[in-house]
Amino acid sequence: MSQTVLITGGAGFIGSHVANELLAHGYRVRVLDALASQVHGADRKRPCYLHEDVELIRGDIRDADVLDRALNGVVAVYHFVALVGVGQSMYQIEQYTSVNNLGTAMLLERVAKKRIRKLIVASSMSVYGEGLYELPSGEICTTAGRTVEQLRCHEWEMKTSGGQVLRPLPTPEWKTPALASIYALSKFDQEQMCLITGRAYGVPTVALRFFNVYGPNQALSNPYTGVLAIFASRLLNNQRPMIFEDGAQLRDFVSVYDVARACRLALESDAADVAVNIGSGETITIRQIAERLAAVLDKDVEPEITGNYRVGDIRHCYPDISLAKKVLGYSPAVTLELGLEDLAAWLSEQQAHDNFQEMQAELAGRGLVV
Ligand code: UD1
């Protein structure tokens, strides 16, 4: 008989793809999800992209009865429930801490009493803050950062006190965390709470630190999601993508199909008690991704370099994925070219409300965009 796996937050973008991946490999999938209106719209209906074989329990992870029902008879748990807006977390501090941190605590008190095969928690690149850098002397720097004065002068790159520019490097898991937002702090708490509890109670636990995940079912009208979804909704509305800083920020955009596979490998491999980067291994600038997306969508629209900046934004961060290859047997299969084509095919059937101006105004009103 097939085994049942619980995905908390499994009606969201990444979780729904993990559900497909697990169903395709013979598992039964149960999802616990509150269907938050910011993601699922005001009517909070079961999303049509959620596979029909998924058993959906609609409810809040902080509700003990709902949680007990969700955990009944499962062999493994993916913990994906989280509020995910970096900027929003800086003013909805109580709400983010409640759902992300307290929600995880409620889950772990129950998981600790169960014999489950694996606990997998969605973590994030955000725990690193700035990525790893190299000083002009060749020394490694794990603590790079920018001052507000520097940003005001539009000096975007990391510099030494003598003004020399630091070179970005792929970021490995051992880089010291630098938590720049309430969201990042809550993601670090989620992964550490899971790892600590897993270690104490003998539950094999894996934290996956996702980089910039993209693909079909991304929440396009949620202006607090990642940059690619924001650019996509701008372009679908024939608006120019608005680029903060100068567009040379480096990121790793990883296909949600690769992420879903990594999630299954985390369940099926022997990996335990470890935090692992999940990316594509390809690096690209924000300006280039805006141009590539416009090209696949066949839009003759140039991005606009605004020279504004968001407080707390990271200049460069992209992963070293060698640990994922080693402990999960993960290797990315979807190139950016293929991934963007697939995204474009999905986007061409979507309507997106472009909320960029509202997000900009909301953050600017709080001094978080300058
Ligand atoms: C952040 C989080 C990540 C989270 C993701 C989506 C950090 C370090 N990482 O990623 O965990 O999954 O948000 O919530 O906190 N940009 C523009 N124009 C826009 C929007 C963004 O130029 O309209 C730029 C930003 O200034 C930034 C880059 O694009 O330099 C990436 O932005 P975004 O995807 O929001 O943030 P990340 O730092 O990549």
Give me the CATH number covering residue 344: 3.40.50.720
Identify the residue whose C-alpha is closest to ligand 1 atom 30. Answer: 249
Identify the residue whose C-alpha is closest to ligand 1 atom 32. Answer: 227
What's the mean per-residue pLDDT of the chain? 94
Identify the residue whose C-alpha is closest to ligand 1 atom 29. Answer: 227
> Which comes out higher in pLDDT, residue 225 or 155?
155
pLDDT at 304 over 90: yes
Identify which of 88, 175, 256, 313 to mutate to test ligand 1's pocket (most ligand atoms within 8 A of the CB).
313
Could you identify the atom of ligand 1 that is nearest to the CA of residue 213?
12
Ligand 1 mean position to 175 CA, how many Å?
19
Q: How is residue 27 written in tokens? A: 């598992």
The active-site residue, picked from 27, 128, 183, 318, is: 183
Number of domains composing the chain:
1
> Helix, strand, or coil here: 175?
coil
Contact by Cβ (8 Å): 187, 102: no
User: Which DSSP string corresponds to 214-242?
Assistant: E-TT--TT-TTS-HHHHHHHHHHTT-PPE
| 256-268 and 13-24 helices, crossing angle to 10° | 60
Q: How is residue 183 written in tokens? A: 């969201």
Percent of the chain whose predicted confidence (pLDDT) is above 70? 99
Q: How is residue 248 written in tokens? A: 């040379």
pLDDT at 295 over 80: yes
224 is a catalytic site residue: no
Residue 118 placed within a domain = yes
Contact by Cβ (8 Å): 119, 111: yes
**What's the number of CA atoms in the CB half-sphere (13 Å) around residue 127?**
26
Ligand 1 mean position to 340 CA, how many Å?
18
Q: What angle do CA 334, 337, 342 make, to 5 degrees?
A: 75
Contact by Cβ (8 Å): 10, 16: yes
Cα separation of the two ends of the chain:
57
Ligand 1 mean position to 228 CA, how many Å?
9
Average pLDDT over residues 7-25: 98
Q: Which helix H or strand E contains 56, and what residues bound it?
A: strand 55-58
Ligand 1 mean position to 287 CA, how many Å?
13
Instruction: Classify residue 310 by its DSSP letter.
Output: B
Identify the residue whose C-alpha is closest to ligand 1 atom 5. Answer: 226
- pLDDT category of residue 315 using cuts at 50, 70 and 90: very high
Q: What is the pLDDT of residues 48-78, one digit of tens each?
A: 999 999 999 999 999 999 999 999 999 999 9
Give the pLDDT of residue 366: 75
Q: How is residue 128 written in tokens? A: 């690193």
Identify the residue whose C-alpha is closest to ligand 1 atom 15. Answer: 126
Range of the domain at 265: 4-365
Ligand 1 proximal residues by C-beta, below 6 Å: 84, 86, 124-126, 181, 184, 212, 225-227, 230, 242-244, 249, 251, 286, 310, 313-314, 317, 356
* CA dist., res. 266 & res. 179, Å (int): 25
Residue 370 placed within a domain = no
Give the pLDDT of residue 140: 97
Ligand 1 mean position to 315 CA, how many Å?
10
Residue 171 placed within a domain = yes
Q: What is the pLDDT of residues 200-222, one digit of tens each?
A: 999 999 999 999 999 999 988 77
Give the pLDDT of residue 223: 64
Q: What is the pLDDT of residues 86-131, one digit of tens each?
A: 888 989 999 999 999 999 999 999 999 998 999 999 999 999 999 9
Strand partners, 6: 30, 77
Residue 290 placed within a domain = yes
Residue 158 placed within a domain = yes
Q: Are strands 76-79 and 118-124 parallel, antiparallel or unpaired?
A: parallel
pLDDT at 148 over 90: no
Residue 119 placed within a domain = yes
Closest CA to 284 of 219, 351, 227: 227
